[in-house]
Amino acid sequence: KAGVTQTPRYLIKTRGQQVTLSCSPISGHRSVSWYQQTPGQGLQFLFEYFSETQRNKGNFPGRFSGRQFSNSRSEMNVSTLELGDSALYLCASSLGQGAHDEQFFGPGTRLTVL
Amino acid sequence: AQTVTQSQPEMSVQEAETVTLSCTYDTSESNYYLFWYKQPPSRQMILVIRQEAYKQQNATENRFSVNFQKAAKSFSLKISDSQLGDTAMYFCDFMKQEYGNKLVFGAGTILRVKS
């Protein structure tokens, strides 16, 4: 079974631009969660999608948004980029049936904002 | 809000020896899940072990075991017979027992296994 894939792997943007990151979950997984990893703040939960609906949301500003498609693939969008948005963005997929589900992480997208 | 504290930013251990990583957490929930995830250098994060709070028995997975002290809100990870491949960042994580997935991560402990 193929693992979680994220595209692109690396991205360089400038302040004020917007960016879209993509995550393809493991086949059969219906939940996709997004996390931001920075040296200063560590790993922080952004949001989770399950069956095309946002099921959980972290404490990030409205510039961070996401969606999930009928095939469970998910995208996250960051508008009006700031320098502080530079981070490794990880997505994780799971069956989505309960908190006991193991989450499988992708390799991440490294976003650099100049 | 839940918080997870890992007080050891870095640790090192000799190959074949045993090492224990510490983790404490704060929550008012009575039902929850605890996890240890590892993130090897330049590789994907993977689950090491998980513990349901309602279970008194400590979880074990081969060379990995936990010491779960619910009253003390402590959840340490013991790695026996350490191997070079265990070198990684280890995260202690908390998840409420609710509908959906939302991991609260600790700051992580870098573990280096030396030959």
Residue-wise pLDDT for B34-85, tens only, equals 999 999 998 899 999 999 999 989 999 999 999 999 999 999 999 999 999 9
| pLDDT, position A44 | 95
DSSP per residue, A36-104 = EEETTTEEEEEEEEETTEEEEE-S--TTEEEEE-TTS-EEEEE-S--GGG-EEEEEEEE--S-TTSPPE
R_g (Cα) of chain A, nearest Å: 13
| A52-A101-B49-B63 Cα dihedral, nearest 10 degrees | -120
Mean pLDDT of B17-39: 95
Indicate the average pLDDT of chain A.
94
The structure tokens listed for B71 are 């009253």
Indicate the average pLDDT of chain B.
94
CB contact under 8 A, A105 and B44: yes
The answer to whether A90 contacts chain B (CB < 8 Å) is: yes
Mean pLDDT of A11-25: 98
pLDDT band at B30 (very low <50, low <70, confident <90, very high): confident
| pLDDT, position A98 | 66
Question: What is the DSSP-derived secondary structure letter of residue B43?
Answer: S
- Closest residue to A42, CB basis, from B37, B95, B107: B107
Mean pLDDT of B19-26: 97
Lowest-confidence segment of B6-15, B83-92, B94-103 by average pLDDT: B94-103
Residue-wise pLDDT for A96-110, tens only, equals 776 567 899 999 999
| pLDDT, position A99 | 57
The structure tokens listed for B79 are 């790695």
| pLDDT, position B99 | 65
- Closest residue to A90, CB basis, from B45, B52, B108: B45
Other CB atoms within 10 A of residue A20 CB: 15
Interface test with chain B among A43, A44, A95, A100, by most B beta carbons within 10 Å: A43
Mean pLDDT of A85-114: 90
Other CB atoms within 10 A of residue B14 CB: 11
The answer to whether A105 contacts chain B (CB < 8 Å) is: yes
Q: Are A83 and A59 in contact (CB under 8 A)?
A: no
The answer to whether A95 contacts chain B (CB < 8 Å) is: no
| pLDDT, position B105 | 94
SS3 category, B69: strand
Residues of B whose CB is below 8 A from A55: 99-101
Residues of B whose CB is below 8 A from A107: 43-44
| pLDDT, position A10 | 97
The answer to whether A25 contacts chain B (CB < 8 Å) is: no
CB contact under 8 A, A94 and B105: no
- Closest residue to B101, CB basis, from A4, A103, A106: A103
Closest-CA residue of chain A to B5? A42
Higher-confidence residue of A41 and B63: namely B63
